[in-house]
Amino acid sequence: MRTSKRIILDTDPGIDDALAIILSLRSKELKVEAITTVSGNVPVRLGTRNVRRILRLMGLKDLPMIAEGSSLPIKEPPLWTYEIHGKNGLGDLDCFFNDDSELDEDWIVSRKAIDLIFEMIEKYPNEIIIVTLGPLTNIACAIEKDKDKMDKVQGIIMMGGAVDVKGNITPDAEFNIFFDPHAAKIVFDSGIPVIMVGLNVTRKCILRKEELVRITEGKREKIEEFILGATDRYMEIHLKKTGRAYCYLHDPLAVGVAIDPTLVKMHKMDIDVCIDKKRGKTFCKKKDFQSEIQVCTDVDSKRFLRLFYERVFES
């Protein structure tokens, strides 16, 4: 009897996206059927290349299908975050990727992200969970193209949003929603079941430098060295601000919720998003127990961190 949940990862790698991809592929509870890419932290073509780089770094032979998605938000201009993730999106650790010169267009599947999403839904109706780690552009475009097909997903687990807490790109907005607020609104209004894993909970999941060094001691294989190097850049931002080296596990927590929803407490809310003056602000219009949107309001961060360490740094 199959117990693994079938998921599609929709991602914009991104350092914490890389951690989330590793976590998903090392968790027996999940079967990653496909990985689709979207513009967000980096342009979509670079994000697609980064997915392949991560999979190669993991030494995987049985690879999920990869497809490239939207290169631009629906209406807004893009906003890359090179200052956080580096020019290559993975902490500028080019020494790990010196052997990928042959990664040309041949390894990208010919179909586009939306087509691959539809293909997976048709193959596994009512089974696919889409876990979004970046802006919601691909998902919104898929809904606009064929809502009937998208109604056959089991649900969407999205990293994004901030309800009653400050944003991380503006005081009001979380980055993924800010990048493409029009897409977020389409998804929120679609009636498709959504679990919103926002800054309310991801900021409680903290990866600290001293703990990372301790956990990886004696396990310094290539993947561990990459994670140490990539997160070092990510942590430097907080080190300069606070004097402590750490980063938040935003995207990995969304994967964690896919693995084990009991890691979080959720409340159904009627969520909307601002598309004008307070671009990207997510807010609760009312607590509506008929809503298909569940907002994560608390997390067992200690239990999630144990799971994260055990899976990502498996023996």
Show me where the domains of the chain are located: 5-312
Q: What are the tens digits of pLDDT across the range 76-87? A: 999 998 888 888
pLDDT at position 20: 98
| C-alpha angle 136-294-31 in degrees, rounded to nearest 5 | 65
* Range in 18-22, 34-38, 126-130, 224-228 with the lowest mean pLDDT: 224-228
Q: What are phi and psi of 215, to 5 degrees?
A: -65, -35
Distance CA 90, CA 93 (A): 7
Reported as a pLDDT band with limits 50, 70 and 90, residue 98 is: low
Name the residue among 136, 48, 132, 34 with its Cα closest to residue 90: 48
SS (H, E, C) 42-96: CCHHHHHHHHHHHHHHHCCCCCCEEEECCCCCCCCCCCCCHHHHCCCCCCCCHHH
- Quote the pLDDT of residue 237: 86
Which whole-number Å values give the CA distances from 206 to 133, 235, 274, 307, 314, in the listed order? 17, 10, 28, 13, 19
CATH superfamily of the domain spanning 5-312: Ribonucleoside hydrolase-like (3.90.245.10)
Distance CA 153, CA 146 (A): 12
Q: Which of 73-87, 126-140, 189-203 has the lowest mean pLDDT?
A: 73-87
Catalytic-role residue among 12, 16, 17, 172 = 12
According to the model, what pLDDT value does residue 263 have? 98
Look at residue 291 in the predicted model and tell me its pLDDT: 83
Active site residue 250: yes
Q: Of 165, 189, 161, 157, nearest to 175 (Cα)?
A: 161
- HSE on the CB side for 206, CA within 13 Å? 11
Burial of 182 (0-12, 13-18, 19+ CB in 10 A): middle
pLDDT at 101 over 60: no
Whether 94 is a known active-site residue: answer no
Catalytic residue among 85, 250, 251, 300: 250
Give CA–CA dist 50/149, Å, rounded. 29
Q: Which helix (H) or strand (E) holds 156?
A: strand 155-159
Q: Which pLDDT score is estimated for 117?
A: 98
One-letter amino acid at 61 equals: K
Do 36 and 252 contact (CB within 8 A), yes or no? no
Of 183, 13, 170, 5, nearest in space to 86 by CA: 13
Residue that is written with structure tokens 């896919």 in the block: 258
pLDDT at residue number 272: 95
The CA distance from 207 to 245, in Å, is 9
Share of the chain above pLDDT 90, in %: 71
Contacts of 166 (CB under 8 A, 6+ apart): 172, 199
Tell me: pLDDT of 65 over 60. Answer: yes
- Report the mean per-residue pLDDT for the chain: 91
Q: What is the pLDDT of residue 289?
A: 64
Q: Which amino acid is at 304?
A: F
Residue 283: CB atoms within 10 Å:
16
DSSP code string of 106-123: GGS-SS-HHHHHHHHHHH
Report how far residue 164's alpha carbon sits from residue 172's, in angstroms, rounded to the nearest whole number: 9
Count Cβ neighbours within 10 Å for each residue of 215-235 and write b for 16 or more, e otherwise.
bbeeeeeebbbbbbbbbbbbb
DSSP β-bridge partners for residue 158: 132, 196
